[in-house]
Chains A and B, each alone.
Chain A
Amino acid sequence: MGIGTSVLLKMNAEKALLQLGVAATVEATDIETARAATDASILLTTPDLVDRLQGLNGQVISIEQLFDLGEITEKLALALQA
């Protein structure tokens, strides 16, 4: 909820973005803050929490394994193409 899993996801998302050569600002937040973030292009989360991020501006990506850089990089690459 803003201090644990999201921070870990942010760390790995930043590594993935570096690999993709994409400049972006990544924030680790809890659900309420994410729902209020109208300027988010992409929202990364775990499968449990995907439903809570529906109906927002940004694209929601579900990451099943926080520590799988391959998964994060692949899904981000796909989302950024869209």
Chain B
Amino acid sequence: MHRAVSFYSYQQAYYLRELTLEQCIETTVGFGADGIETLAEQMMPGFPDLDDYFYSTWHHWMQRYHATPLVHDMFLDLQLFSGRELSPAEQIELLKRDIRHTARLGCRFLRMVVLTPPDVVAACISYAEKYSVALLLEVHTPWHIEHEWIQQHLETYARFGPHNVGIIPDFGIFVAKFPRLQGERALRTGVRPDIVEHVIGSYDAACGGRTGPADLSSLVADVQSMGGGPAEVGFAREASRHVWSNPESLLDVMSYVHHVHAKFWEVTETCDGLREYSIPYPELIATLRKGCYTGYLSSEYEGQLWLRDIDQVDEIGAVRAHQQMLSDLIDERE
């Protein structure tokens, strides 16, 4: 297994112009990772009309920093036009546009958002093959591998085989313990402490059986019955979007797992080493190893969500710690 970083992790630094795209690359390889995952709509202004000079500069950076262009993360704005959804034909054209961009970056993989319809994907697989690009659907919370929508996708992909199509499991579908930072932020913003405690306790109890997916359907009703107001109900709704699913579900679909979003919010020091507070990385990496996964684990930091109100976001520090944890767990010395 290898290490990558999704530049989603550096979003605030880029937003405030503290890091350029090139500096994101330099920072990433400085952690010993070589895989580069970018979001054109985030850090490549001018997309989709990037000029030849941009692409030649990009390849110069890849050589200069000994980096591997790995994944282009596409977005699909289904509501692009007011009053209607994009037609399948329009969605197909946008996906083909992003396939061409992926190829120009030298990336093997294109990340499709989870709402991309299976038929749209199917219509683009042979086009992607011509560009040596594999189309990968991100399996992101609140969906999970065993969800009907994902199973529909996999049934469609089975007609083509796994070489040019597959999935990217986001580790946010394996949340075993409620994120501490999310609870702390709720308290800072005035959510009733007893309700925060109830929601966290309910989530952790639902995931305790570890046979997943956890049933969180009663959380909102519980909070309403406790007299929770809009803030409390909103917190319960957010909490019910987390997913705990069985890591073993990866093994059933391993031939279609070409890339992994190593989602994290908080890396902590424990007596067993660095660990993500909510997501059981040792178990997940052991499962991937069992499934003979040889792709990349791409650090995807999202802790900014729950720290931005107190201005304590340190994206570089967070990614550094996560990359160290991955390195330790993957045991690259072997």
A, B assembled together? no
